[in-house]
Amino acid sequence: MIEFELNGKKVKSERPASHRLLDVLREEFRLTGVKCGCGEGECGACSVFMNGELVNSCILSMGRIRGQSIITIEGFRETKRFAVLQDAYDKTGAVQCGFCTPGMIMASEALLSRVPDPQEEEIRDALSGNLCRCTGYNMIVDAVLLAAKEGKGIW
Amino acid sequence: MVEAYFPENLPEALRILGDEDVIPYAGGTDIMVGKSFKKPFLYLDKISELKKVENLEGKIRIGACSTYAALLRDERIPKVLKESIRQIASPSIRNLGTIGGNICNASPAGDTLPILYALNAYLRLESENGFREIPIREFITGVKKTARETSWLLTEIIIPSGEYEYSYQKVGARRAQAIAKLSFVGIHELTAGIVSDIRIAFGAVGTTVLRDQKAEKELIGKKASDIDIPATIQYYEKIIRPIDDQRSEAVYRKTVCLNILREYLENELTEGNRQ
């Protein structure tokens, strides 16, 4: 039995310690905003926060999250910061097929919460663990720049 | 089978390691790429002793389970080590992955390894019955092979404190998330134009890090401007023996290594280059 906090609520899972958090989130808790792209920490589609830090849920075993706080895109969606990011992604055309978008949003939040007014280079570094096969990245970088501008003061 | 162990402190972890056949789990970023596990995990993340960084008597003692992200935030960590860590994988992996994991994986392409060889790092290994401290070059014995016996745990990485003049290069297919095709580090001290210390290491071009102290000794005591660069290149040309694999080819690896070495000897081996 593994107890942890998921999007602010105390939860339990009977899954073995070696199972991936990603699978538990999708199959047991039906949080399907968390995607499986590569399964080896390369693509960032499964990004979540553990105690406020960006991590890949595909290479995070259940035993490692015992007693930790996990936030998924579904939990982050309830915040004002998400609304600003959503609007910025929308306005810049940063979403095409959408598969990478939850992970990109989480990585954007991880950056902005640390660096509220980032330079382009810092954005590219912060998103370097997230792959997008559609946009060519420039629109996503623009989205983060716009979010930083529109959301001044909330990060 | 017990499916996992969650020790709260180091003595408890060492006791389990002595009694059971387990996989020590630090960051898990490499372990979890595997799909099935025949032994239970020994989770090390609750052990605060393994996450400490201390500066004692001129030595920095780095807890083996310090994450890359924690080390990047720590001002006691030498810049040359940070430079290699900053180029590992991606921010999310640097939040989980640990320096002790990088060492115990013993991949020929392990990014911190050439730096640790060049810094003459020592490793502290502990078991229920005691501890020992050995140079990293004696710990890593081959591809994915170490001298760690199953009842021993890597607890600390010990490096000298202070900064060096250095040059570090990682060559990979792209800037983020790349496993090195090869890497190079040169660190040196110049005193009035004389090479008072130099260490040169190459990663991913052999089963373990390549560092040749005979070649370094040849350079120490010489004026930097008097170094016989062609002879030095010729010497390394003989001892760098890379292989072809999925990431690169031997001929490419060797050519680039020698070009980087030449660039270092010609342009970087100067004073006031403490980046």
One domain for residues B136 and B69 = yes
What's the mean pLDDT in B17-25?
97
Q: How far is CA B21 from CA A16, A63, B3, B159, in A?
A: 18, 17, 11, 30
pLDDT value of residue B271: 74
One domain for residues A12 and A38 = yes
One domain for residues A9 and A67 = yes
Write out the residue range of the structural domain in which residue B226 sits: 166-268
Tell me which amino acid residue A108 is.
Answer: S
Name every chain B residue with its beta carbon within 8 A of the beta carbon of A102.
Answer: none
Question: What are the beta bridge partners of residue B201?
Answer: B185, B211
pLDDT value of residue A78: 95
ipTM above 0.90, yes or no: yes
Write out the residue range of the structural domain in which residue A86 sits: 80-150
- The chain B residue lying nearest A62, using CA atoms, is B4
CATH code of residue B80: 3.30.465.10
* CB-based contacts of A10-17 (< 8 A; 24+ apart in sequence): A13/A62, A15/A62, A16/A62, A16/B3, A16/B4, A17/A61, A17/A62, A17/A63, A17/B3, A17/B4, A17/B40, A17/B41, A17/B43
Provide the total of helices (H) and of strands (E) in chain A, helices listed first. 6, 5
Contact B90 A64 (CB under 8 A): no
One domain for residues B17 and B146 = yes
- The chain A residue lying nearest B90, using CA atoms, is A129
Domain count, chain B: 2
Q: Examine the fold and report which residue of B160, B180, B197 is the final residue of a domain before the chain moves on.
A: B160
For residues A94 and A87, is the Cβ–Cβ distance under 8 A? no
What is the rounded end-to-end Cα distance, in angstroms, of chain A?
Answer: 36
* Helix/strand/coil for A109: helix
Q: How far is B107 from chain A (nearest CA, A)?
A: 17
Q: What tokens were used for B85?
A: 């860590």
Residue to mutate among B36, B90, B94, with most A CBs inside 10 A, is B90
One domain for residues A41 and A105 = no
In the predicted model, is pLDDT for residue B266 greater than 70? yes
One domain for residues A18 and A70 = yes
Name every residue whose Cβ is closer than 8 Å to that of residue B254 and which is 6 or more positions away in sequence.
B205, B237, B240, B242
Determine, yes or no, domain membership for B188. Answer: yes
Q: What tokens were used for B120?
A: 């003459």
Tell me which amino acid residue B66 is.
Answer: S
pLDDT value of residue B2: 78
Contact A128 B90 (CB under 8 A): yes
CATH code of residue B205: 3.30.390.50
Q: Examine the fold and report which residue of B98, B129, B160 is the final residue of a domain before the chain moves on.
A: B160
One domain for residues A98 and A57 = no
Domain count, chain A: 2
CA-to-CA distance for B17 and B7, rounded, in angstroms? Answer: 10
Residues of chain A with confidence (pLDDT) below 70: none
What's the mean pLDDT in B50-76?
97
Q: Examine the fold and report which residue of A17, A39, A74 is the final residue of a domain before the chain moves on.
A: A74
pLDDT value of residue B1: 66
Q: Examine the fold and report which residue of A48, A74, A100 is the final residue of a domain before the chain moves on.
A: A74
Q: Examine the fold and report which residue of B113, B142, B160 is the final residue of a domain before the chain moves on.
A: B160
Determine, yes or no, domain membership for A155. Answer: no
Q: How far is A132 from chain B (nearest CA, A)?
A: 14
Query: pTM for the full model?
Result: 0.96
Q: What is the dihedral of CA A32, A35, A39, A45, to 10 degrees?
A: -150
One domain for residues B150 and B176 = no
One domain for residues B145 and B182 = no
Name every chain B residue with its beta carbon within 8 A of the beta carbon of A54.
Answer: 91-92, 95
pLDDT value of residue B36: 84
Contact B175 A55 (CB under 8 A): no
One domain for residues B102 and B56 = yes
Look over chain B and give the mean of its residue pLDDT values, rounded to a whole number.
Answer: 96
CATH code of residue A24: 3.10.20.30
Contact A60 B32 (CB under 8 A): yes
Give A 67-106 residues with CB within 8 A of chain B.
none
In the predicted model, is pLDDT for residue B231 greater than 90? yes
pLDDT value of residue B273: 52
Determine, yes or no, domain membership for A110. Answer: yes
Tell me if chain B has a CB within 8 Å of the CB of A65: no
CA-to-CA distance for A5 and B269, rounded, in angstroms? Answer: 52
One domain for residues B202 and B98 = no
Q: What tokens were used for B127?
A: 């078991």
Q: How many CB pairs under 8 A join A and B?
A: 84
One domain for residues A69 and A10 = yes
One domain for residues A93 and A66 = no
Question: What are the beta bridge partners of residue A70?
Answer: A6, A50
Q: pLDDT tens digits, residue range B102-156?
A: 999 999 999 999 999 999 999 999 999 999 999 999 999 999 999 999 999 999 9
One domain for residues A43 and A86 = no
Q: Examine the fold and report which residue of A15, A49, A74 is the final residue of a domain before the chain moves on.
A: A74
One domain for residues B204 and B245 = yes
One domain for residues B143 and B196 = no
CATH code of residue A116: 1.10.150.120
Looking up tokens 């004073």 gives B271
CA-to-CA distance for B214 and A37, rounded, in angstroms? Answer: 48
Q: pLDDT tens digits, residue range B155-206?
A: 999 999 999 999 999 999 988 889 999 999 999 999 999 999 999 999 999 9
pLDDT value of residue B183: 98
One domain for residues B73 and B140 = yes
Tell me if chain B has a CB within 8 Å of the CB of A42: yes
One domain for residues B133 and B156 = yes
One domain for residues A107 and A88 = yes
* Helix/strand/coil for B227: coil
Q: How far is A122 from chain B (nearest CA, A)?
A: 11
